[in-house]
Amino acid sequence: MMKLALVLTACLFTACDRAPQPSAREITVWRPLAAWTGRGVLQTDPFISNTGFLRVTWEARSVDTTRPGTLQIALHSDVSGRRLAVVLDRRGPGRDVVYVTEDPRSFYLLIESTDVEWSVDVAEGIAASQR
């Protein structure tokens, strides 16, 4: 009985002596899906997102300094062709990041521009834990 008490006491002190484990921090990891550059109008090839959390990074550069130009980007369902979201409707040059949340599926972008050269990258957000 005495040995059992000593073993239990030793286990208790050993467990209490351990430093607490740091808690996991939730992060988003970005997986590149596709990228395009061009001028004018482009309907992109389809791309699949398993999470539906998209990061669209875009840049528009003026071609004609006398006109500001425009850039529109719309996200469409690849299955039905239906417009799901207007990602961007921009007048003039610039660059930024836009986040879109949709149901997971196959998508495509319709990119329309006048008087700008553009580049567009799409990445998918994946939830992860970091210790």
- Length in residues, the chain: 131
Per residue in 78-117, pLDDT (tens digit) is: 999 999 999 999 999 999 999 999 999 999 999 999 999 9
| Residues in Cβ contact with 29 at an 8 Å cutoff, skipping those fewer than 6 apart | 125, 126, 127, 128
DSSP code at position 8: H
- Domains (ranges, CATH) in the chain? 22-130 (2.60.120.380)
Q: How confident is the model at residue 130 (pLDDT cuts 50, 70, 90)?
A: confident
Distance CA 68, CA 45 (A): 28
Distance CA 114, CA 39 (A): 7
